[in-house]
A and B are shown apart, each in its own frame.
Chain A
């Protein structure tokens, strides 16, 4: 079985958040970084399937600050391979572009399961998994909280989290992509000695952009950040959006948001 896990680092937002001068991103220059929490759960899931049923676990990351560190971590945690897609750090890549880069690498490799963390600690977008599944044209299930079973017939039964404490259980045919929620397991701790030693024992597979068969002429962000603002903390006001159908409610919601000046 082949499992691919998408991994990245995020800045640790433990104190007051400052924006860059253009107010388009968080000023992360002085912030410490660690592996995105959700990704750790995804990695742990892959490693446990490997331990129980046997699998090859490949970690993949689109190179930016800390990607190398993150990939070495995965190798130290007993992943079998780690792939770094090299890129210019300064250039802005939105989540579509990141998904596209990963797609370009893994679409020519064998995979049964692709695991991503549900979302990033920093942007909370939860986009890469869904986009990647769409690009690969494979089924995806989001917010997975438990793997019920993995069968030889090539399907996996998962439980995913809904609102209000509800969940549903689905059988998904592999190859499939799952985005993983925290709490699905207890991620292992990888000691500093292991992390140090792995650098002499294992190598990261580096793939330069030039090696990817991608149409770079059409490779632009589909989304850009206009401005980041810190929310004011004010007393809460609750208003229910009316509508008898989902479409009606959505239209009313868009109306309200336009009123508020967000569109």
Chain B
């Protein structure tokens, strides 16, 4: 849609959202509706109805435009509504429409949310949403033990490698999460797999795309695609499901050129092939938070479970809402950068659901779920009862 002018985009969006039959079933699965005041427009078809009338009645000025912006940017883009609509109603690609509308708002200089502006600037200038210097992206490797670096080739120029580990911005810059890439490296080390890490890795572009900056996304896509191809990679393994989704669904034809795997898929394959053997089983009760961008968006539900069942056996308990019914942590869609309305914090609801099934550990496979749920444990005062761990940490610890 990038090459279209705004009028054509609006016409396309209008055509799509006018298919809505206003059954409102989508509200039953929407984390926005669950966590907010529950005003009529605070649900999927509320957003699409808002888009419809904003275009039809030209409500794109002044306060109306700001209200539309606030509404559209409060969506987590988890996709639960699309699954529901497909199952029970017209099958409208609701999230796609919301994101297309965000693009229009951004082009009209009405969006994004104020706090997201510096995120976009940081992405453009430094290749990461945190505004950290791009030269320092691989500095985290300095804190990793020498022996774990043996398998790693840091791709600076002409080096070639078959398997690439795409670290992602959060794992690269957030030192609190250092154990995640460290654990993955331990497992790679255990598997004796050689792999590369791009010296010049830039953000996969997911935040830009979700916020509606399609032009910036394209720049980042081109940059990363070129670097991955130049390194001769046959396979890229990602840490974040958002990078995974970007490569698989949003990057033009990357999936035709190389294999794209989330690390849980990659390690589940190794487990099945007998290359990974679990030596130490876990006896704490654990449960698993399906990341929306791994599960709902890409259907990867079982690979992480294969690993966790091996590690914890009967101690792995599902939350009542699992797989496609999983509750979004609230971090996606650009929300992690902004203050959005949350009367009931999604992370706290989820922590409670984990406690309800007797879990002592919530296992995640996404850096944002990790951050959100860790916060949720703290803000709900449950630090003594439950902790959050990444799947890679548990796997590394079980070998």
Contacts and interface: CB of A to CB of B under 8 A. Distances in A.
Question: So, do A and B actually touch in the complex, CB under 8 Å?
Answer: yes
Interface of A: 12, 14-15, 32, 34, 77-78, 186-194, 196
B131 A14 contact: yes
B213 A191 contact: yes
A191 B131 contact: no
Nearest to B121: A34
Contact of B215 (A15, A187, A188, A192): A192
Measured as residues with beta carbon below 8 angstroms from the partner, the interface class of chain B is 20 to 34
A191 B107 contact: yes
Given A14-B133, A186-B114, A196-B215, A77 B121 contact: no
Interface string B110-145: 111010010011001110000101000000000000
Given A14-B131, A15-B133, A186-B114, A192 B219 contact: yes
A108 B219 CA distance: 42
B2 interface: yes
A193 B215 contact: yes
A140 B81 CA distance: 55
B331 to A, nearest CB: 21
Contact of B107 (A32, A34, A194): A194
Contacts of A34: 121, 125
A130 B399 CA distance: 69
A207 B26 CA distance: 59
Contacts of B213: 191-192
A125 to B, nearest CB: 24
A189 B120 contact: yes
Interface in B166-221: 213-216, 219
Nearest to B124: A192
A191 B121 contact: no
30 contacts: A12-B125, A14-B131, A14-B133, A32-B126, A34-B125, A77-B109, A78-B109, A186-B114, A187-B117, A188-B109, A188-B110, A189-B109, A189-B120, A190-B109, A191-B106, A191-B107, A191-B213, A191-B215, A191-B216, A192-B124, A192-B213, A192-B215, A192-B216, A192-B219, A193-B2, A193-B107, A193-B214, A193-B215, A194-B107, A194-B109
Nearest to A16: B133
A37 to B, nearest CB: 10
Of the candidates A34, A77, A191, the one having the most CB atoms from chain B within 10 angstroms of its own CB is A191
A78 B110 CA distance: 13
A12 B126 CA distance: 11
A189 B121 CA distance: 9
Contacts of B107: 191, 193-194
Closest 9 CB pairs of A and B: A192-B215, A193-B215, A188-B109, A192-B216, A189-B117, A32-B125, A186-B114, A15-B133, A191-B106
A189 B133 contact: no
Contacts of B117: 187, 189
Interface in B269-297: none
Of the candidates A78, A189, A190, A192, the one having the most CB atoms from chain B within 10 angstroms of its own CB is A189
A190 B133 CA distance: 22
B111 A189 contact: yes
Contacts of B219: 192
Contacts of B110: 188
A187 B2 CA distance: 24
A51 B191 CA distance: 62
Contacts of A189: 106, 109, 111-112, 117, 120
A190 B124 CA distance: 12
Nearest to A194: B107
Contacts of B121: 34
Contacts of B120: 189
A59 B120 CA distance: 23
A18 to B, nearest CB: 13
Contacts of A12: 125
A223 B112 CA distance: 42
A68 to B, nearest CB: 17
A257 to B, nearest CB: 36
A186 B118 CA distance: 12
Contacts of A32: 125-126
Contacts of A186: 114
Nearest to B213: A191
Nearest to B135: A15
Contacts of B133: 14-15
